[in-house]
Amino acid sequence: MSRGVDYAKLSVLVADDFSSFRHTVSGMLSSLGVKKIELASNAREAIQCCEHKFFDLILCDYNLGDGRTGQHVLEELRHRGLINRQTLFLIVSAESSRTIVLCAYDCEPDDFLMKPINARMLQQRIERLVRQRDALAPAMRALDAKEHAVAAQVLEQVAGRQTRHAVAAQKMLGTVLLSQGDLDRAEALYTRALEVRQLDWARLGLAQVRQARGDLDLAGEWLQKIVEENPMFLPAYDSLAENWNKRGDRLQEQTAVQKAVEISPLSILRQKYLAIVAQENADLVTAVVAQRRVVKLGRLSCYGAAEDHFHFARLVADAVEQELDLGSDIGTEAINFLKNAKDAYPLDDSAACSVHLLEGRLHALAGRKPAAQESLTEAEALMYEGSEDIVLEVDRMHALFALGENPRAEALLNDLRVIFADDQRALERLDVFLSEPASASNSALVADINREGIDLYNHGRFDEALACFDRARTLFPRHVGIHLNIVQSLVGKLKETGRDQETVEECARALRRAGRLINTEHPQYTRFSRLKAMAHSAMGH
């Protein structure tokens, strides 16, 4: 025993792929008086040990040799509830690159040790962490029991003492108060901490208080200043992204998430967030890149799922339909990801149906009609009447349209509009197939985008108008009015700036896309014919 730590009572797990390191650390622990020591050589063994036993302390190497890292181990242990706040988790690593260190810190271990380590270093870290844990133990037990008021009372007592654990108690107390909506006490706590020293966690907490009060502009200014002064402080980017989301600026939200991903690229949850917000911003290139990373990271992560593979396939198919240049092999890559999902995850009939429908759509877009038809037939054999699974039905319509079976797709669309007439969320999914949105939310969104784009066009800001309309086209690819607005903007640009080859080619593509959606009976056919003549004149055809 040393300095108040009873080592004989500690239960410790050492996980490292090198036996020499495991035994060296085991020897150091034994010399301190630790009697209960278990060893693991990889992530699987480490997790299995925690399935059967509680550990006070886990010393886990970052690179465990089998692909999974200490970060994966910590995430899974928390995700499955195999450890609680009483277990101290230390990541040990010989990796000194900024990316590895920041990614390790991002999963919030209790400490991070750089190899090589010696007995004195290990003893100092263990004693500091164990003593802090013991001082905060009543609060941790209360939090595990969801007794937040009790936890706050204990933490307030520890925070008020002049001990080395006061700051840790303050940080934890601030988090508890924020989570419970006790904003007055949280604000007072953070203000007192900042009167002593300009601490980033306290500055962040005060900004979060302002954000929770609805003062979004001021909170955003403070958060922006924090990341400018400490560009590696990941929690501030998370709050900044939330701030932009609450302010309705999804582009700025994406920027904040992208910066966080650049700092911590191995975080699967951040990559998932980026893929979603980029898709909502009609930035399919960024969404595809992020979702590809999600699938690859998911092979080793507890957060990986078959749906990640499906999402990638849908994004790729959308990008191909939008004629985005993501490489000639992108469709094959998506099909391979779907095959990997079948091998990696147990799929029920619904998930298997999704695989077949997505394979059919991708095959059809690549011109492989027999393979596409075979996949569609296999999918429909698994579907049953009255299932009302909007996700599957949307995938089926995409496959039918890609195969050119428009009458079947239109009939299905009409049926679904009746079935889901009172379901706004379902109607939002169907809007992608409609010339005019059926849902109230998307109708308002299209109207807002069109107003913005038309205003930009009227002021001669053609590139900005095109960016606005192109985002709308990606969200609603069958909306004829949006396609015609793009043609009109390109004609205006050609007349204003002259016939550069890139704009001429884009105008020709825009005409083709609009022409595929419109016929002589369409109410906007007259406008289309007029714009077609104007475009040919502007292009010099």
Determine how many CB atoms are found less than 10 A away from the CB of residue 157: 13
Cα 226 to chain centroid distance, Å, stands at 22
Q: How far apart are CA 271 and CA 292, in angstroms?
A: 9
The answer to whether 376 and 399 are in contact (CB under 8 A) is: yes
Q: What angle do CA 193, 245, 74 make, to 5 degrees?
A: 65
The DSSP letter of residue 58 is E
Reference 375, options 396, 347, 393, 349; nearest CA is 396
Residue 84 Ramachandran class (φ > 0 left, ψ -120 to 50 alpha, else beta): beta
Ranges of residues in the chain with a pLDDT under 70 are: 1-3, 385-387
Cα atoms in the Cβ-side hemisphere of radius 13 Å centred on 337? 33
SS3 304: coil
What's the confidence (pLDDT) of residue 1? 36
Determine how many CB atoms are found less than 10 A away from the CB of residue 15: 25
Residue 14 Ramachandran class (φ > 0 left, ψ -120 to 50 alpha, else beta): beta
List Cα–Cα distances, 465 to 53, 250, 471, in angstroms.
Answer: 61, 18, 10
**What's the mean per-residue pLDDT of the chain?**
92
Q: How far apart are CA 338 and CA 359, in angstroms?
A: 8
Q: How far apart are CA 186 and CA 180, in angstroms?
A: 10
Q: How far apart are CA 178 and CA 214, in angstroms?
A: 14
* Residues 56-85 pLDDT 10s: 999 999 989 878 999 999 999 999 999 998
Give the DSSP letter string of 202-250.
HHHHHHHHHHHTT-HHHHHHHHHHHHHH-TT-HHHHHHHHHHHHHTT-H
Reference 484, options 457, 445, 444, 459; nearest CA is 457
Residues 6 or more apart in contact with residue 126 via CB below 8 angstroms: 5, 32, 57
The answer to whether 434 and 412 are in contact (CB under 8 A) is: no
pTM of the model: 0.86
The DSSP letter of residue 431 is G
* Residues 320-339 pLDDT 10s: 998 888 888 999 999 999 99
Cα atoms in the Cβ-side hemisphere of radius 13 Å centred on 286? 21
Q: How far apart are CA 114 and CA 269, in angstroms?
A: 26
Q: Which two tokens stand for residue 1?
A: 């025993």
Q: How far apart are CA 158 and CA 135, in angstroms?
A: 8
Cα dihedral 273→276→281→283 (10° resolution): 100
Q: How far apart are CA 257 and CA 231, in angstroms?
A: 13
